[in-house]
Every structure is written in structure tokens, then in C-alpha cells.
Structure 1
Amino acid sequence: MKPSALAEGNVNELNPYVQGFYAAQPEEVTKTDLEVIGELPTDLWGAYVRNGPNPFEVPDVPHHWFDGEGMVHSIYFENGKAEYRNRYVLSDDNVADMKGDGAEARGVLVPSNRDRPNKVYKDTANTDLVLHDGKLMALWYISGTPVRLDARTLETLGNEDFGGKLPRNVSAHGKIDPETGEFLFFDYSLYEPWMSFGVVSPKSELTHFAKIDLPGPRLPHDMGFTENYVILHDLPVVFTESGLRNGMWQIKTEQRGARFGVVPRNGTNDDVKWFETDPCYLYHVANSWEEGDEVVMVACRMVPNNFDPDPAHGQFASMVNVMALHAYAWEWRMNMKTGEITSRQLDDRLSEFPAINQDYAGRKTRYSYHVAMAHERLQRFEGLIKYDLETGEKQEYLFEDGQGGSEPVFAPRTGAKDEDDGYVITFVTHTETGESEVLILDAKKFADGPIARIPLPSRVPAGFHATWADGDKIAA
């Protein structure tokens, strides 16, 4: 289905993030026994699932890309066959919007509603996904209510509050420890000087929660974890004074360094060890681990995109510039004995949305798979990069001209023998025709490109984060 432009006169007429490659795909589709071009591996079992914003209706107020109702796209593999589904995530705010009762929940480009308990903006559950306790959880950018989904059918099962013990919300980027099955998460307040972190058992029981004091309100986006620690981010990007006063999403960069707080997974505010480093912002962590006395974190460090606001985007010009994520792969090492921190840039190629073999999360990994960011004003993934974190080498695969991709996942081969014994999977969509397909690459022969392509019956718009759901965990 080819997307069309908005009707003339719509308040979002100059907003590129509701048109073309970014426009909603309103139909929910199920298609089994998909056509395969090439050879679909028979040792690939599980689901590649990706979340993203998908407005239920054409917005009639200024719209931020983050405001769209969550929609999950999935392709499930088993016995050399593939099936596709996409479904809306039925968060409370999404359901209210669909019923026309969503006036209390507002997007980030209009004045917020501070009268709502525990939430200020519309909780769309459109940002990330994790597989925990045999089910998916859809998570939201600004911290919201986790929404459980069936990992095979994508049907919404209901909100998750961990037995009624969730103190408030869960941030977009919680983590699963593959060794323990625990879910690690953080939360933060838009207007108060604190953040928090929690640990949830494999059976969805909250087992630990701690509040961490900060000098002021912060806007962190991700976290790291290792076998024994969590890594929290205190970064110099905050609300402006007028934004705080007027309840608007207006942010600024403060003239100070960044801090990473390393705290034992069962620790409290008194146990945090802060490491101060150069001013920076990072959206996404690839992985973290312990190495001798050091805690190591690999992430994507933002760099200026140097774009001037484009008058062609009208009131949306500032949003467009902020959404042009330009970042480099970076490494930080924090010495728990000396308190020293060192960092180094791993590559000068723009890359973001990193993925690893999740079976190794929180432990030392050699490989990280990133999207190659196009140096363009609009956010578009133009290819994939495989980094060897030990040798510094990289391999790159670029999509065909006119295509934009999605965050990849690493899918271990059934009976995998080592870390990169498996497949890298992503959605790609032609930005003009809307034709979408799934690409499957052999991780050990990454630069050779796809070993299989699967045309999809539905357009997959640009979106956010993805995860791999192992077939045996879904079945369990």
C-alpha cells in the first residue's frame, strides 16, 4: 500500500513524520505461509517483532512522531516457513483515543496535562519491546505502563503492574538478564529530582526497587546492566525553564558533564558510584559487562547533526532537526576501585539502534549490530553494520536505493555454538512505493547480504525498536 500525503490545510501539512515513509498503516493484517525469495533457514525458530508509532486517525493537532499509537509488526519463523502479523497495542490511552475519549491524554507538541496521575503525556506504548515471562511487554518512551502482548498472535493481554507492586512507571528501555530471567528497569520524573530502578523476577514479581537522588529533573533514555550492576545515566539534557513552567516539551543542553551511576542490582541510593565524564547524550546502549575491576559500557554517543531548521517544515522544523539522530559507536570504562573513567570512539560512521545476541546481554560480547544512519534531515536507516568490538573491524551491508530499514535483531541459530552463530533480521520499506520485505542475513557472512527475502502483504512504516522472541520461550 503506497502512502499518500496529508490533505491541504491540515495542521500537520508541513510535518514529514505523518507522511510517506512515516505515515500510518491502519490495517491489521495476518498472512501465513509467506513467499520466500532465496532459502529460509530451517534452524530459525521464533519471532522478529518491532514496535513503532501508528496514528489511529489522521491527527488534527500538532503531531510529534512519538505520539502515534503503538503498532507491533511481527514475522514468525518455524520449520522453514514464515507468517506475518501486525496489531495495535491497546494501552489505556490508545483505547481511549480509538473511542474518541482521549482528550485528557495529550501529545508532546501541545500543553501537557499535569492533572493526570503519574503521567503527563499520552502513553502510546509505541517504543520498545522485551520478551519476559513468556510474553512480550510493549514499553513507552517517557515511562509508562507496560502492556503485555501474546508473543505469537500480538493480541493485547492487558497492563502489567507486577502483582500490584509497580510503584509508578517503566521506562522505554528495560533489560532482560538472560542468565536469571529477570527484568531490569528504570523510571524517572519529568519535574522532580529523582530516578529509580527496579528488578522483576522471571515470574513477574517485583523483588527490588530503589529511588536515586539527582541534582534536578533529568531526561534519561536508556540504561546498562552487568552481572552485578545497573548503570544509570545523568545527562546534561533537561527541560527549559519555560517548558517546565508551561508544561511544554522544550529541552535544552546544560553546560556540564555527563554522569554514569553504577549501583549494585540490589543496591540503594547510598550505594551508587558516580563517574563523571565529558558532556554528551546517548539514547541507546548496545551492551555492558564487567572486566576485572572495570565496568564497560558500549553505546551510541550523539554528535551534532549541524542542520539548520528548514522553513519548509514550518512549526515542525525544530522537531525534525532533533529527530535527525547522528551518533557514533563509543566505549566507556569505569574502574570500580580507582573511580577513574576512560572513553574512546569506536568508529566515525554514523550508527545507532544497536542490537546484540541477547543470550549474552550483561556479559562480555564481541559483536554489535547497528543501523547505518543516512546523513539526511529525516531519520532513515540506510543499512546495517556489524562491529567486532575486539578487533575494531566492521562489516557493512547497505539497503537498496530508496529503502529505509528497521532496528535489526540477532536470532541465534537453533543449537548455536557461539555468539554470532545465527541470523540478523530487519524490515525494509521502499520510501516511495511502500513495498516492504524482511531481510535475513547470515551473521557469519554478514557482508554477503541477505540469504533470504520475504515480501510482506502490508507496508511497514518507519518505527522504533525491535526484539527477538525465541521459539522455545514463546512455546513455554
Structure 2
Amino acid sequence: MIETEFERDELTSLNRFNPYLKGIYAPVRNEVTALELEVEGEIPTDLYGAYVRNGPNPMHGPEGMHHWFDGDGMLHAIFFENGKAEYRNRYIHSQDHEADRAGTLTAGGILEPARRPEGAPTVYKDTANTDVVLHNGSLMALWYISGQPVRLDPRTLETIGTETFSGALPKNVSAHSKVDPVTGEFLFFDYDLYNPVMSAGVVSKDNELSWFKEIELPGPRLPHDMAITENYMILMDLPVVFTEAGLRNKMWQIHQPKNLPARFGVVRRDGTGDVKWFETEPCYIYHGINAWEEGDEIVFYACKMVPNGLAPNAEFGPYAPMAAVLALQAVLHRWSFNMKTGEVKVEQLDDRRTEFPVVSLDHMGRKSRYSYNVTIPNTDTQVFDGLVKYDLETGQGTDHRFAEGVYGSEPAFAPRVGAKDEDDGYVITFVTDSATGKSEALILDAKDFDAAPLARVKLPQRVPAGFHGTWAPGDDIAA
């Protein structure tokens, strides 16, 4: 059993029921820089850059109801160069993190009543704990409810400051906004929790806001991701929404109405024209894989949610409903949107439960063949017990299983220096042994995916289970 400071003396009687404050989810307290790491195996000398992963790490024991998504953002990163590795972890100093440290924070987490003053940029505490991308030479940490991006140094992880694009950012930015590998542009979306609008915009490679527009919706929506192609952005209007009581009382109470379809909105990347909507059967998508154009069609691959079949676990007390929702299950699907006829085709490609997909970022928005997803067992809390490399052309997958009781993170694909094709490189992930609390970084050969790791890099402290990561190429960091 993993020992944590929270388990010993900081958790209220209420939060002793919360599974996402214990074990592999419990926060770590130390910000560490470790330049000499023990390695089992050999780190390839043509692996150059950083694997960076974001996630929640509560700065102090919560007093009220605490959602897993509420924890203060913390980046964990491992940097590779010349067959050696360095590890760092740092808190993300969002404006709300700093206010919390100063004792002046007015906002709470999503299970608490909204109490932010009218006119504030966000309703709940903005932690920037969800996603991380590399743009314009530095990292940006992003929040899933739409918040203020936070810039960080890609090598040291030190916070640079809140990013407003020279004061031109009109509102907020959601996690899962994208960076185009060819143009260097940052394409983003944003949504209002309690108003029937979504917005989209583009920031140039030089960090200048090119355009921004609001898009009217039938009602307030809670999207989670978007996709890009060479010429388009794909936005999602999906039928998971606040209940009427949730809207009235500004409480995080959501449901899935049976009469609402799923809609996908295609927006031109130059900001011109109207949104072209495609309507399908109801579904929810947390995370897309990739999208691209094929003639008159836009092809979009994503993980479509399916019921997990779990009943609330009484051991979790008041947190049983939260845990039952967080244990997400999804399967690989492909959507085709015909821009001329308006026809939509949907196809399931596999029945394995996989999620948190990543591709080679060099192929974002362009045709790609491979996706690297985590595999998810049907457990009471969200854990990743392995990875699968999907061939999107065939729907076939190659599994890489972790040892019993060892759980991983969203991986990243790292092209080797001088890579010749799409999967010529490595897949990196953090894993933690739930029995010992020891964490490692695994380096897998993407072309020999089910083989033993090329290297296991021993980390100086546990990496708590978390959310999304990215690969930051060494040359881009140096630039």
C-alpha cells in the first residue's frame, strides 16, 4: 500500500472516502530535479527531446468535496539526449494556483457550488492541469473546462506566465486545442459552461491571434476535444449537458438527454464562411485521434464512449457516483463527413477498451496510419494496464501489457533522429507499481511494439496517475 501524507493526517473524514486522493492518485510534495537516473537496458542515442505529462496534484488536503480534476496542475518530464536522461517535476503556477497559495482564491472545485464573482474568466478553480502542448518554442498547459493557458519553459518546467497572446485572447482556451506541425499555428476552441456558445480561433506560429469567432449552439454544451485537418477545424456539439437544476443553480450536474443528437461542426481554418454541421446518432467522445481530408470527405478517428456497466461502489461513500463516471470505457471508431453531400458514415473498428490516444505529432491533421492508445480494464477507478498500437488502415492492434498491478500514463510518440517513416521511433510512458509506489519511464520500440522495453528509467519519486502528455523534440526545445 502506498503511503502518502494525505492518508496520514490531512484528509477530512469526508475525503477519506475519495479514491482519487489515495494510492497511485495521491499527490507528491517535492519538486525534484534528478540529473543522474538509473537505467535498466539502454536509452537509444537517437532519442532526443522531452516527454512531458500533465496531471492533478493537490497542493494541500481539500476540505470540501474534491473531484479528481480539481488538483493543482503539475508537469512531470523526462529529457533524453546522448543516451542519458533527466527528470523534473514542477507545479504549474496558474493565476488561481498563486491565489490559492496567497489565501485569496474565491473559486472552488467542480463539486462545490460555483462562487466566482460575475465577470471572472472562469467559474471554477483554473488549474491548467489537463493538457500540454509545445507552441512557439515553449510549453502551454491547458485546462479541460477552458481556462487561461500557462506558458512554461520546456526544459526546466518553470512557469513563464499566463498566456494572453499579447492581450488579444478574448476569452479562454480549452484543453485539446491543437498545434499544426507544418504551419506552427495553434488552433483552439473554448466553450461557456452556462451560455449557448462555443468559440474557435487561430494563433500564428509567432504567437499572434489571427482570428476568433463565437458559434451559436442550441444550448450550453460540454465538449472535450477538437480535431484539425489542413484546411478545417472540427468542433463537437455532443449530448452530454447540464441538467436544468445544474444550469439553474450553477452546479456540476450533468446528464445525457435521449433526444439530442451528436453534431460535428466543420469550420474553415482561415475563419471565413459558416459552420457546416453534420448530425449523427447520440454519442460522446472524450478524445479524438486524428483527422484529415480525402477528396470530398473529412475522415476522423476517435474513441467513442460505451457504458462501463459499473454500479457505484459503496466503499467510496459520497464519491461513488464520481468514480462510476470517471471509469470511462471507449472503443475505436471512424467517422467520414462528406463536405459536398452532407452524408455521414460511422464505423466501429475494434472492440477493445482503449482511450487517451496519441499519434506522431508530425502527422497531426494529415493522413496517419498509427495510433498509440492506453488499454483500460473494467475497474472501479480509472487505470491504464497497457498500450495498444493501432493500424488505422486495418483496425488491427498490437498490445503491450504492463506487469500485474503496474499502471501507466498517456504515452507519447518520439520520432528517432533521422526517422524514415511514421512509426520510426519510440513510445514513451510513465508507469507506477501500485504495490510499491515506484515509478519508471518506459521506452518502447514503436516498430517492435510487443517486445520488452528497450529501457526502463528509474524515477526518483512516484509520478501520480494523471492526464495528458506530449513529445517536445530536442531541436525545438533548443530553438
TM bracket (short chain): over 0.9
Q: Which residue of 1 aligns with 2:264?
A: 260
In structure 2, the partner of 1:407 is 410
CA deviation map 1:237-282 (0-9, x unaligned)? 10011111112100010122100011111235x5211110110000
Q: Which residue of 2 aligns with 1:166?
A: 169
Q: 1:102-113 to 2 correspondence within 5 Å?
A: 102=105, 104-113=106-115
Matched with 2:246 is: 243
Q: 3-state DSSP class of the match of 1:381?
A: coil
1:24 aligned onto 2:27: yes
> For this pair of structures, how many residues does the alignment match?
474
Does 2:3 match 1:3? yes
Q: Verify the 8 A CA contact 2:55 2:130 in the aligned structure 1.
A: yes
User: Which sections of structure 2, spanning at least 5 residues, go unmatched?
Assistant: none
Partner SS state of residue 299, structure 1: strand
Amino acid at match of 2:311: D
Determine the structure 1 residue equivalent to 2:430: 427
Q: List aligned pairs for 1:354-369, cutoff 5 A.
A: 354-369=357-372
Alignment of 1:133 with 2:136, yes or no, is yes
Q: Which range is displaced more, 5-14 or 111-120?
A: 5-14
Q: Which of 374, 386, 394 matches 1:391?
A: 394
Is residue 119 of structure 1 aligned with residue 105 of structure 2? no
Using the TM superposition, give the Cα deviation of residue 114 of structure 1 relative to its aligned residue in structure 2, in angstroms.
4.4
Structure 1 residue 99: deviation in Å? 2.4
Q: Give me the whole-angstrom Cα distance separating, in 2, the residues matched to 1:45 and 1:200.
A: 27
Question: Any idea what the Cα deviations from partners look like across 1:399-448, whole Å, max 9, x if unmatched?
Answer: 11111100000000001000000000000001121100000000000011
Distance in 2 (alpha carbons) for counterparts of 1:97 and 1:449: 44
**Closer, same or farther in 2 for the Cα pair 1:132/1:9, shift >3 Å?**
closer
Asked if 1:274 corresponds to 2:268, the answer is no
Establish whether residue 36 from structure 1 lines up as the match of residue 39 from structure 2.
Answer: yes
Which residue of 1 is the match for residue 303 of structure 2? 300
List runs of 5+ in structure 1 lacking aligned partners: none
The whole-number CA distance in structure 1 between the counterparts of 2:12 and 2:390 is: 46
* TM-score in terms of structure 1 length: 0.98
Partner of residue 344 from structure 2, selected from 341, 345, 352: 341
Contact in 2 for aligned 1:235/1:258 (Cα 8 Å) = yes
Q: 1:330 — aligned with what?
A: 333
**d(CA) in 2 for partners of 1:416, 1:443:** 12
SS at match of 1:274: strand
**Distance in 2 between residues matched to 1:202 and 1:10, nearest whole Å:** 49
Deviation of 1:172 (Å): 0.8
CA deviation after TM superposition for structure 1 residue 67, in Å: 0.6
Deviation at 1:9, TM superposition (A): 4.9
**Residues 321/6 of structure 1: CA separation in 2 closer, same or farther (3 Å cut):** farther
Change (3 A) 1:303 1:6: farther
In the TM superposition, residue 95 of structure 1 has moved relative to its aligned partner by: 1.2
Q: CA deviation at 1:118?
A: 2.0
Alpha-carbon distance between aligned partners in 1 of 2:124 and 2:116, rounded to the nearest angstrom: 8
Query: How many Å separate the matches in 1 of 2:233 and 2:470?
Result: 20
- Hey, what does 2:322 align to over in structure 1? 319
Amino acid at match of 2:3: P
Matched AA of 1:131? L
Query: Within 5 A, what are the aligned runs for 1:150-299?
Result: 150-255=153-258, 256-268=260-272, 270-299=273-302
Partner Cα separation in structure 2 for residue 225 and residue 254 of structure 1? 28
Residues in 2 aligned to 1:423 and 1:81: alpha-carbon distance in whole angstroms: 15
Match of 1:350 in 2: 353
CA contact (8 A) 2:12 2:63 kept: no
Q: For the Cα contact (< 8 Å) 2:239–2:261, is it kept in 1?
A: yes
Q: CA deviation at 1:3?
A: 3.1
Partner of 2:83: 80
Paired residues of 2:2 and 2:24 also in contact (CA < 8 A)? no
C-alpha contact (below 8 Å) 1:6/1:12 kept by paired residues: no
* Aligned partners of 2:430 and 2:442 also within 8 Å: yes
Q: Which amino acid aligns with 1:261?
A: G
Percent identical among aligned pairs is 63
Worse overlay, 375-384 or 390-399: 390-399
Task: Give the 3-state SS of the residue equivalent to 2:449 in structure 1.
Answer: helix
1:26 Cα offset (Å): 1.1
Secondary structure of 1:271's counterpart equals: coil
Give distance in 2, aligned partners of 1:449 and 1:169: 42
- For 1:52, give the aligned amino acid: G
